[in-house]
A and B are shown apart, each in its own frame.
Chain A
Amino acid sequence: MQSADGNVVTKPSSFRPGSDTPFIVGLSILSGTYVAIILAMIAADLAYVDADSIMSALRSKEIQYSIGLSLLSCSLSTLLSLWVAIPLGYLTSRFEFPGKRLLDTVLDIPIVLPPLVIGISLLALFNFAPFSWTSEWVVFEIPAVILAQFMVACAFAARAMRISFDQIPTRYEKVALTLGCNRSKAFWLVVMPQAKRGVLAAGTLAWARSLGEFGPILVFAGSTRMRTEVLPTSVYLEMQAGNLKGMLAISLIMIVAAAAVLVTSRLMGMKRLEP
């Protein structure tokens, strides 16, 4: 094509990048399928239980205790986990030091180890001082439940916090330093306020992980009813008894309890995070 002054001009660009529809559809199908399977699983569970088994489970003293202990121990282990995971995440995010890679590997161990091994390892650990001094009130007691949950939940929370801190640029801390902060003040006044969402995410991760954890608890704390029995232990005990309905009833209670706590904390968290 020729323009007015005789130069050759190509047509205005007829190149198109291609439709977005297949991409969006693909994403939707993949995510939708997974969500659908999860919901279908829960629906299948619902189909097997009846109101009777759920009511009798809720009425049972042992289950009530188990729910209470689960909520309490998960909350405590989450607080403990955050208490450790936040500084640990900040350390691994901001600082370089010899042996850092080794530290990262060590932090992955609780995630990789089979749950029963963690339980046995904790038991073995408490053979030695200074831990053995506290065997009396830890081993096979409630603190053992919290400790077992903490060991696994903290590893997950530390990972999440590290990623969270990685995403906060270091410029703010630098400015804070020049304005007169030491590293501690810079952390609390400038970094942490920005990490709120990350803390919430790590906290819910730790809580959820703690709720589902029971392998280490079985060996390290036992499954003593009205003492160290938590919800996943209750499910396991029902299964051992061959009581399918009871097992599913408690599982559903667990799902509801977990959903309630997680949704509430997200909502509350969101409210506070919004300006």
Chain B
Amino acid sequence: MISVESLHVRQGEFSLSDLSFNLPAGTYGIVVGRSGCGKTTLLEAVCGLRQIAGGRILLGSEDVTNHKPGERGVGYVPQDGALFPHLTVARQLAFALALRKTEPKLIKERVEELSERLGISHLLNRMPNALSGGERQRVALGRALSIRPKYLCLDEPLSALDDQTHDEIYELLVQTVKGTGVTVLHITHNKREVEHLADIVFRMAGNELHREK
């Protein structure tokens, strides 16, 4: 599960204070809220990319408040994917594995497996600037999943995509993530994604988080 207790985060002028929520293990949670209400700040805090001024973050039963991002075992897909501009798709997928000094044979297997599942096998040697928006999101997802994380954080993964691609990605997320035991924290301002994907919905407004549904 992903759990946050009395979280205080300061970001320049902007701050979150005393936020708490609980996302049970294996569920697909979506946080909805207006642009600029602090969803990204919350997400990044969970990933370990923000300085916490107070409160706790728990992943599973572990208090990871002081853990580095790489220690938390969280897969992170930022807005528009943020693929490394200098690496091919194959190397993006292999990145985290290579970091952990995995055997090349095993890396190859995993990359093939991931690219099959995500429908990007034909793109393995492409560079990011030669991919479409939807293809980029797939690769980003694959990169995040490469190490089989228990938690996944998605920052508005569909905002830059057209409607048709939206549906494709919904399908993809349902197939590869939902119901696989991965706890997903997905933030968006779009209600449609809630209908398609969410098990639990949280609404964020005015520095407060309420559970819906």
Q: Direct contact between A and B in the complex (CB less than 8 angstroms)?
A: yes
Contacts of A155-189 to chain B: CB distance below 8 A: 169, 171-172, 174-182, 185, 189
Closest to B140 in A: A175
Decide: B99 and A177 in contact? CB cutoff 8 A. no
Size of A's binding interface in residues, CB under 8 A: 18
B9 nearest CB across to chain A (Å) = 15
Q: Among residues 11 to 36 in chain B, which have CB atoms less than 8 Å away from a CB atom of chain A?
A: none
State in angstroms the CA–CA spacing of A180 and B68 once bound together. Answer: 9
Tell which of B44, B69, B127 has the most Cβ of chain A within 10 Å: B69
Q: Which residues of chain A come closer than 8 Å to B100, judged between CB atoms? A: 180
A190 contacts across to B, CB distance below 8 A: 84
User: Are A178's CB and B69's CB within 8 A?
Assistant: yes
Complex Cα spacing A177 to B84, Å: 13
Q: Mark B81-122, 1 if CB is under 8 A from A, else 0.
A: 010111000000001100110000000000000000000000
Q: Is the CB of B96 within 8 A of A179?
A: yes
In the complex, how many residue pairs between chain A and chain B have their CB atoms under 8 Å apart?
61
CA distance A153 to B72 in the complex (A): 42
- Chain B residue at minimum C-beta to C-beta distance from A190: B84
Could you say which residues of chain B place their CB within 8 Å of the CB of A194? Answer: 85-86
Do B78 and A175 touch (CB < 8 A)?
Answer: yes
Please, how many angstroms separate the alpha-carbon atoms of A181 and B76 in the complex? 13
Across the interface, which residues of A come within 8 angstroms of B84, CB to CB? 172, 175-176, 190, 193
Q: Please measure, in the bound complex, the distance between the C-alpha atom of A189 and the C-alpha atom of B44, giving whole angstroms.
A: 21
Query: Which residues of chain A (221-250) have a CB below 8 Å from chain B?
Result: none
Contact of B99 among A171, A180, A275 (CB under 8 A): A180
Give Cα A182 to B68, complex, Å: 8
With beta carbons under 8 angstroms apart, the residue of B48, B95, B127, B147 that contacts A177 is B48
CA A40 to CA B194, docked complex, whole Å? 68
Q: CB within 8 A of A178: which of B70, B85, B86, B127?
A: B70
Tell me whether B78 and A179 are in contact (CB under 8 A).
Answer: no
Whole-angstrom CA separation of A194 from B87 in the bound complex = 10
Closest CB in chain B relative to A197 CB, distance in Å? 11
Most buried by A among B84, B85, B127: B84
Residue of A whose beta carbon sits closest to that of B49: A174
Interface residues of B in 137-151 (CB under 8 A from A): 143-144, 147
Contact status A178-B82, CB under 8 Å: no
Interface string of B122-145 (1 = CB under 8 A from A): 000001000000000000000110
Closest 3 CB pairs of A and B: A178-B76, A180-B70, A177-B69
Q: Write 22 A-B pairs (CB below 8 A) sorted by A numbering.
A: A169-B82, A171-B82, A175-B76, A175-B143, A177-B68, A178-B74, A178-B75, A178-B144, A179-B70, A179-B76, A179-B96, A179-B143, A179-B144, A179-B147, A180-B70, A180-B96, A180-B100, A182-B68, A185-B99, A190-B84, A193-B84, A193-B86
